[in-house]
Amino acid sequence: MSSPIRTLFVMYDARCGLCSAIRDWLLEQPKLVGLALLPAGSEAAVGMLRGIPPPSPDELVVVSDTGAVWRGNHAWVVVLWALRNYRGWARRLASPALLPAARGIFATLSGSRAMISSCLGLEPKP
């Protein structure tokens, strides 16, 4: 029997203004599962990813306290699943009907981070 997930470790790009703003937003949200946000490339993040191919700069990676790993589009859905007010959205977005659209949205968001940060005047924060 597997143990329930209690914490998700979210590796984000601390050099990205949009990523820093999303991190701040995530920290303020009511959660059903704990979130620990780690700058990608930090000692803690690298330690968690031992034996796992390193992510691309635009790729979100989430690791649970049970050892499960989600990358890219699935990682976005898992982060929403951890939030009290967005778990329903996560379930919808993970459905076969909506997952292709969610993948497109997440890919566009990830690939446009620098432009979005610049347009919104978002600066990286430690």
pLDDT (0 to 100) of residue 90: 94
Indicate if the pLDDT at residue 1 is higher than 60.
no
Average pLDDT, the chain: 89
Q: Do the beta carbons of residue 55 and residue 40 sit within 8 Å? A: yes
Q: Can you give the pTM of this predicted structure?
A: 0.88
For 66-96, the DSSP string reads TS-EEEHHHHHHHHHHHBGGGHHHHHHHTST
Per-residue pLDDT tens over the stretch 24-72: 999 999 999 999 999 988 888 888 888 787 777 678 899 999 999 998 8
